[in-house]
Every structure is written in structure tokens, then in C-alpha cells.
Amino acid sequence: MFESLNRRQVLAGLMASPLLASGPALAFERTENGNVIVFGGNQAIPVLDPHVRYDWSTRMVQQAVYDALFKYEDDPAEIKPWLAESWESSPDGKVWTFKLVDGVKFHNGDPLDAEAVRYSFERGLKLNKGVAWMLKEFLAPEDITVVDARTVRFELKAPYAPFMSVLPWWYIVNPKEVQANEKDGDYGQAWLTDHAAGSGPFILGRWEPNVLYELKSVADYWKGWPNAERRPAGIIYRLIAEPAAKKAALQRGEVDIVETLTSDDYMLLSRAPGIVVESHPGSTTFGIKFNTQVGPTADINLRKAIAYAMDYDALIAVYNGAATLETSPFPGALRGHIDIPDMPRRDVAKAKEYLAKSAYPDGNITLKYIYMNGLEEARRIGLVLLDNLKELNITLELVAETWPNMVALGSRVETAPNMTSVYTTPITNDPDAVAYQYHPKSWGQYYAMHYYDNKEVAQMIDEARAEMDWDKRAALYAKIQTQIVADQPEVFGMLENRRWALRDYVKGFRFSPVRLASEIDLYQLYIDA
């Protein structure tokens, strides 16, 4: 190959821009059993156990090998019955009864019955890890009862309106298989780290930590396939750390889907032949949390002044337009979201007015802005704010911290920084998922670095989670949203679009905003080429 090149060809090769020549596309992997779709992502899956961990990559694979009573699909997110065929709740919202689909079997042939459901919830609660927080306050393991082989009943300690909304994240494991692999009473934790005992559309194939994770599709999946003839033989989730390498691998056809590229790369790829960019308004909010209790930002007028000084258009520009401004503390994908009419937007006169009313009428203070090391967008937003605050004679000091350090700083009100840029993703489509971030019980968590303290709001949040009537709940959440905006515990920023770049022969992609970060529903995908 080297010999056949003449000097002119070499020069042409050197001059050709890497973007013009997208190189030979090798296309998806073909195996004896059919097509294999390759997903390139940067986050490993150290522990697959559905009751121990969840994050976007882990849950993407959990959703592929396990089933739950319900499943989130589509945009806006809908809770679809999955293992549950029918269900009912008592008027006071405390007793929930679920009837299971008949004849569902785990991958090893064991029947998926009410006992399996009971065991899975008990396991999740007793391990006290991962998903446990979603239910532990309302559900004790002994209050789950098997009525008959296909019926299971939950008795909650108190009415909990968002109950159904967390059920899609409680996956059902096969009790017999797990118990057979138990070691020293660990509930099979060691074994489930890199094995699965589920009933989902895929089973595990090769499992090479820090390299790739292979899923093989189950031909006779009990729920059937969205596109049975074109069902892929499998999916490989491959780890690629660097955005540049990810982009190169997609261009070369070594992978079929990638996530987390730079905004510029998404722009370029959307124009490249054979590549499609999926860009959807997500439900991950970006906010700059003030410390509302300690330091200058405890002063609400200063907080308002900063909120009005911020150039919100720049927030969108940082993402090349692939973002929308927040119109409430709740993302639009949440039930009960309302648009607050007077959300602060850049208004320097108003900012100065508020500053004059604050304890720092001449500015003359230095505030810290903390962002996560390596998050280029958060850094650029900090630079914009730095520039904006000069007009108020406020100096902004940008500090990059690693994620563990940021979490540690935010865990105590004394050390919580003046301002911290935080991305938060609600776990469900229920308004409680975001509202509770503004409840004093959330203090110490990274998303509650504002240490927001409004007794009325806290009371309304408690009331709303116990209220079973949706209209009454919605009214409460409208008030909650309005009051939080009035108190300005943070600069409400924007919702970044979730983006993926795909080869155009990958079909079936369906976005749902409740999925975390780059998580997608692998079950829907197939290849058409």
C-alpha cells in the first residue's frame, strides 16, 4: 500500500481535511446470527445488580436484561404496564394490588410469579443501596404480600402519590437463581455484579469490564419485538473515553451510535452523509445554586441582582442552540409543570435596582463559582457570568473541582460554595422528583446545595406527595413552582438537549426524557440497510 503512493497522493492526503473525507464505513458488525449494533459510550458498568447501582449506562443494560412492573416509554414519558397486567389502589392511596401478565418466564425457564416480585422489592429494600431511597420511607419489606401466584399487594405506611412513578426502576430478579448463587448471606450481590437473572429482551454475552459489554437478544421474548424480522442478534456497548475517538469510530463505522460529543462535533456530524443526529429536549436542568444560608448570597436581593444580570441567551449559545431556557424550576417533561410568567431574564437596570436594595449596594465583593472539572460548557457559562457581574462590580472567581470534591463541599451548609453549577436529572416524570430537591430533607445532597429553607414550600411539598387527587396536586405544584422562583435559590438556567449521533441504518430510536443522560431503550433498535 505504501509503495503505490506517489508524492502527489501523499500531499493530497495530508491536505484533505479530516472532515471532508469521512473514510471507509465498515458498517455494523455482522455475525452468523445476524446484525450486531455497537453503542460507543464513555461510562463503564462496574456493577450490574439492579438493586445496588443505577446510572445511565448501568440502567441502560439493566433495562435490557430485566423487566419491571411498568416501563417508561416515549416523549412525554408514559408509564406503560409491562409485567403488571392490571392494578388498583385503595382510595386512601395506601394499598396497591398488581396482577401480573400470565406465563412470563425468566431466561432460565423459571416462572416470573408474585413471589419473584415480592422477593425483588424485599431485596431492594433490605440491601439499602441503589434504588432503596425511592421507597424505603413508605414501604417495609414485610408489607409486601403474595395474594396468589399472579397477584401481589403492597401496603404503604403513608399515602405516596408518586408510588407508581418509581416502579419502572424496580427490576424483577429471579429469586431461585439469585438464592442459588448467594454467598455468606449477600443476597447474591457478588454474583449479580456481572451476571443477570432476569426476563428481559436480552441476555448477557461477553462481559469484559472497561472494554465492552455484549447483549444477545432473546428470540422468543414474552412481550415480542417492535420489529421482529429485523431484531438485531445483539448489541455491544463499547467503552470509548475520548469524544474525538468516539467521533472517529462513528465516522469509520466501527460503532453505530455514540453519545457525549462536543456541541461543535454534533453540528459537523449532522451534515455528514450517513449520519443522523438525534437531539431532544431533555429533563436535565442546569442551575447555578446559591448558598442561601451562609455568605453574601444569603441576601435575596443579591441573588435577584445576579439572576437579572445573567445573560441567558449565552446559555443557549454555549450549546450551539441545542438547549431551551428553564421556565420554571421543573423541567417541561414533568407532569404539573407550569410556565412562570416573570422568570428573571437579563435586565441590567433591574439587577442594579436589586443590588442597591441588598447589603452590598456598591458590589465590591468576590464570589466563588464552582464547576465540575472538565465540563467545558459549565466553565464557559461561568465566564459569561463573570463578565455579566462586572457590571455590578462583583468579582467572580471560577474554581474547577472534581465531582467528589464538589459533592463533599456541598454536603455541609458551612462549606457549600456561593455558587455551584449543577446539572440535575429527575428520576421520574412525577413533579415530586424535582420538588423534593427544595425540601429541607434533601439538604446535604449535591442538588440541594442551595440549603433552601421555606417552611411553607416544604409543607406544600409534603402535602402534595400524600395527595391522591391529581388536580389538587397540580394546584399545589403550581404554587410551589411560583414560590421557589420568587425565592431565587439558584439562577435557573437551561435544559440541554440530549444528543446522540447514529449511522442512518440504525432505526427504531425512541427518545424518552425520564431516561438518564445518554441512556436509551435498546429494545427498540434494529438495523435497516
Partner 1 sequence: MLSFVARKLIALVATLFGVAVLTFIITNIAPGDPARLIAGPNATPDMVETIRTEYGLDKGLLEQFTIYMSDLAHGDLGRSMVSTRPVLDELLRYAPATIELVLVAMVIGILLGVPLGVLSAVYRNGPIDHVTRIFSMSGVALPAFWLGILLQLWFAVDLGWLPVSGRLPLVATPPPTITGMFLLDSLISGQFDLFWTALKYIILPAFVLSMPCVASILRVNRAEMIEVLQSDHIVAARAHGISALRVVGVYALKNAMLPTLAMIGLRFGWMLGTTVVVETVFDWPGLGLYAVSSALSSDFKPVMGVTLFIGFLFIVTNLLVDLAYAWIDPRLRKA
Contact footprint for partner 1 (CB under 8 A): 1, 13, 16, 18, 21-24, 29, 31, 36, 38, 44, 46-47, 53-55, 128-130, 132-134, 136, 189-190, 193, 208-212, 236, 238-242, 244-245, 248-249, 251-252, 254, 402-405, 407-409, 411, 427, 444-447
Closest CA to 26 of 501, 503, 500: 503
* Residue 517 burial (CB count, 10 A): 18
Residues 6 or more apart whose Cβ sits within 8 Å of residue 227? 507, 508, 526
Select 123 or 238, whichever has its Cβ closest to partner 1. 238
Q: What is the DSSP letter of 105?
A: B
Task: Work out how close the CB of 156 gets to partner 1 at its nearest, in angstroms, rounded to a whole number.
Answer: 17
Task: Work out how close the CB of 31 gets to partner 1 at its nearest, in angstroms, rounded to a whole number.
Answer: 6
Cell of 514: 425520564
Select 60 or 83, whichever has its Cβ closest to partner 1. 60
Select 254 or 278, whichever has its Cβ closest to partner 1. 254
Task: Work out how close the CB of 382 gets to partner 1 at its nearest, in angstroms, rounded to a whole number.
Answer: 21
Count of CA atoms in the C-beta half-sphere (13 A) of 470: 6
Task: Work out how close the CB of 343 gets to partner 1 at its nearest, in angstroms, rounded to a whole number.
Answer: 26
Select 90 or 128, whichever has its Cβ closest to partner 1. 128
Residues 494, 496, 499, CA angle at the centre, nearest 5°? 170
Site of grid cell 484533505: 16
Task: Work out how close the CB of 283 gets to partner 1 at its nearest, in angstroms, rounded to a whole number.
Answer: 15
Closest CA to 155 of 167, 169, 140, 168: 140
Whether residue 330 contacts residue 433, with contact meaning beta carbons closer than 8 Å, is answered with no
Task: Work out how close the CB of 30 gets to partner 1 at its nearest, in angstroms, rounded to a whole number.
Answer: 9
Select 129 or 507, whichever has its Cβ closest to partner 1. 129
Continuous segment of H or E residues that includes residue 79: strand 78-81
In whole angstroms, what is the distance from residue 437 CA to residue 424 CA?
10
For residue 147, give the 3-state DSSP assignment: strand
Task: Work out how close the CB of 414 gets to partner 1 at its nearest, in angstroms, rounded to a whole number.
Answer: 14
Whether residue 376 contacts residue 262, with contact meaning beta carbons closer than 8 Å, is answered with yes
Select 95 or 248, whichever has its Cβ closest to partner 1. 248
Closest CA to 494 of 289, 307, 263, 316: 316
Select 208 or 456, whichever has its Cβ closest to partner 1. 208
Select 89 or 373, whichever has its Cβ closest to partner 1. 373
Select 145 or 402, whichever has its Cβ closest to partner 1. 402
Task: Work out how close the CB of 365 gets to partner 1 at its nearest, in angstroms, rounded to a whole number.
Answer: 25
For residue 487, give the 3-state DSSP assignment: helix
For residue 111, report the phi and psi dihedrals to the nearest 5 degrees: -70, 140
Number of H helices and number of E strands within the chain? 16, 20
Cell of 451: 440549603
Task: Work out how close the CB of 287 gets to partner 1 at its nearest, in angstroms, rounded to a whole number.
Answer: 15
DSSP letters along 415-462, please?
T--SEEEEEE--SSSSTHHHHGGGSGGGTTSGGGTT----HHHHHHHH
Select 21 or 228, whichever has its Cβ closest to partner 1. 21
Task: Work out how close the CB of 114 gets to partner 1 at its nearest, in angstroms, rounded to a whole number.
Answer: 27
R_g of the chain computed on alpha carbons: 25
Continuous segment of H or E residues that includes residue 15: helix 7-15
Select 218 or 407, whichever has its Cβ closest to partner 1. 407
Task: Work out how close the CB of 238 gets to partner 1 at its nearest, in angstroms, rounded to a whole number.
Answer: 6
